[in-house]
Amino acid sequence: MVLVFAKCMSEMLSKVKEYIRWRVHQTTKRDGTVSCMILTTLLCLVPLVVLAFVVRFKMQTPEYYIMYIDSQDEALFTVDERFLSLGLDSTIITNGFPHFNTSDPTLIKLIKYLSPAYLRIGGNQADQIVFVQDGLSGTNYRSESEFDEYILSGSDWLQLHHLARQAGIKVIYDLNSLLRFVNGSWNSENAQQMLSFSQQHKLEVDWELGNEPNSYPKKFDTVVNASQLGRDFVGLRELLNGYSWYENSLLIGPSTTRLRTKDIEDYFLHFLESGGFESVGAITFHHYYFSGMNATSREFLDLSTFDYLEYCIDTVKSVLSLLPSADKPLWLGETSTAWHGGAPNMSDRFLGSFLWIDKLGLSAKMGIDVVVRQSIFKGDYALLNQSYYPNPDWWVSVLYKELVGTKVITTETEGKAEIRLYAHCARPNSIWASGSSVVVFGVNLQDEVGFVQIKELRSASQVYSYELSSNETLFSQFVQLNGETLQLRQNSNLPAFRPTVIERTETMTISPYAIVFWVFTDTDLEACAPE
């Protein structure tokens, strides 16, 4: 439309110029130089006036974001039911569970709202923890010249499982990989003690061995090479198979950092080639966007930051393509906005929620099976603060669990880069009628209204809209749903998540700096048809 208008204006401008030149010629012959100068000035001004008018017209014409949904396609991918899972940093154990009361009914309730999920207990200090049963003295596995050793007691281990059972989540425990013999192989003695104790108490656990082993030289001044770690995983899998309670348990790894260098890519590959691939039930790597120590608010909104996750996942897939077969689930085994515990006054604010919802959407679209959010508690990136009150990402996570199903829809998008949307089959909900429902969700990263067109999807005339925004600034710790501030009710009960019912039109809008979930009901999408 803008191009057609500009063409018309160009033709009209040519005719105006031609007329004015003729008038200049006639006036010069009749009235002299002054009148000629006036007309010449007018001739110069006309193009500027017309250009200003064209620019203004173009600025008033919105740039659209267009999503195409093929109703005949099958689901692109189906994620794990525990896709959005939780991390609990090992420092909770090494610091003696400060402010983290595993029996607190509020804490249990707020975690339960995020079930089903895994609770992955791990982090840097996982490789400094040994398990000791109550009443027994622990073995000193390290010489005094090496780094500190911390104890997880049997009673604390049982308390963590009490929390998990009450909250309806399943524990993944990260075993200490730095307990090693002189020849460099893993010493599994402490793991056997923990397995025997856990089986005796019928504790449901999945397992991991080590945290970011490629970073051991930097963090612990020691090296565990990738091939040795692969063989250690083979040994751990055999060990688990010897316990009736854990022969079918999940083992995940290698839990490296993001594959940002060729050395890390090689570490990842050599682990998998040395028995790691056959041993694990899911392949894991970690992802953060930047350091929390020097992060800026601009980074939280920069499009290149959002695109970085896609690059990281593509890099992992490229390495996996070098294997004869790579048919194993791929997990983000630990992830958040910024490492070093998050970015103060940013990771725990609404500002940080754009990266979080985009990570959920993009990860699922790219075939990631589980995303483990670091962390449920402790740190600037925590979902809950030290008073067990939700930070913005907790509200985003709960609404995601409420609305977004496991089936990922194939989409093609074009247009405004600051709008990023994804599509899944929607979860059943008492608000809308049963049938084939689709939820489109994502972000508007600009300070103006975003215009969206959803193409090739037939649906009911009404759309259920859930729009999240900050109640003041992007640095607010409070979140609004359709203009109402979200707050827990008495006894930590959830508020009602009431959608705004809007008419489906050709063009839909998203408020500036907002997160949106649109539910389209009674669609013609075969992938979301009731089974």
Q: Which two tokens stand for residue 27?
A: 């006036």
Is the model's pLDDT at 527 over the cut of 60? Answer: yes
Q: What burial class does residue 281 get, using C-beta atoms within 10 Å of its C-beta: 0-12 exposed, 13-18 middle, 19+ buried?
A: middle
Compute the distance between CA of residue 456 and CA of residue 460 in angstroms, rounded to an integer: 13
pLDDT one-digit tens code per residue, 161-180: 999 999 999 999 999 999 99
Query: pTM for the complete prediction?
Result: 0.88
As given in the structure block, the two tokens for residue 4 are 């057609």
Residue-wise pLDDT tens digits, 450-496: 999 999 999 999 999 999 999 889 999 999 999 999 999 999 999 99
Neighbours of 434 (CB within 10 A): 11
**What contacts 190, CB < 8 A, 6 or more positions away?**
130, 131, 139, 141, 176, 179
User: Above 90 in pLDDT, residue 414?
Assistant: yes
Q: Can you list the domains of the chain with their CATH numbers?
A: 65-75+410-528 (2.60.40.1180), 78-402 (3.20.20.80)
Residues 9-23: tens digit of each pLDDT: 455 545 545 655 555
What does the pLDDT average to over 327-331? 96
**In b/e form, how buried is each residue of 29-67, taking b as 16+ CB within 10 angstroms?**
eeeeeeebeebeeebeeeeeebeeebeeeeeeeeeebbb
Q: What pLDDT is recorded for position 413?
A: 96
Given a cut of 80, is residue 273 above it in pLDDT?
Answer: yes
Distance of CA 56 to the CA centre of its chain: 38
- Do 127 and 412 form a contact (C-beta atoms < 8 A)? no
- Going by pLDDT thresholds of 50, 70 and 90, the confidence category of residue 58 is very low
The answer, yes or no, to whether residue 401 has pLDDT greater than 80, is yes
What is residue 2's predicted lDDT score, i.e. its pLDDT?
40
Residue 54: pLDDT band by 50, 70, 90 thresholds? Answer: very low
Kindly state the percentage of the chain with pLDDT values over 70: 86
Tokens of residue 174, six digits? 């990260």
- The 3-state DSSP class for residue 307 equals helix
- Mean of the per-residue pLDDT values for the chain? 90
* DSSP of 124-170: GGGGGEEEE-TTSPPP--S-TTS---EEEEHHHHHHHHHHHHHHT-E
- CA 392/CA 355 separation, integer angstroms: 12
**pLDDT over threshold 70, residue 522:** yes
Structure tokens at 62: 């919105």
Mean pLDDT, residues 419-446 taken together: 93
H/E stretch holding 515:
strand 514-520
DSSP code for 180 = B
Quickly list DSSP for 214-279: GGHHHHHS----HHHHHHHHHHHHHHHHTSTTTTT--EEEEEE----SHHHHHHHHHHIIIIIHHH
Report the pLDDT value the prediction gives residue 8, as an integer from 0 to 100. 47
In tens, the pLDDT along 135-164 reads 665 454 443 335 678 999 999 999 999 999
Helix axis angle for 189-200 and 154-167, nearest 10°, is 50
Cβ partners under 8 Å of residue 65, min gap 6: 413, 414, 415, 416, 419, 421, 450, 451, 452, 453
What is the model's pLDDT at position 73?
81
Instruction: Identify the weakest region by mean pLDDT among 41-45, 85-89, 150-154, 505-509.
Output: 41-45
Is the peptide bond preceding residue 254 cis, with omega within 30 degrees of 0? Answer: yes
State the average pLDDT over residues 66-94: 94
Question: Does an H or E element contain 408, and which?
Answer: strand 404-408
Average pLDDT of 224-229? 98
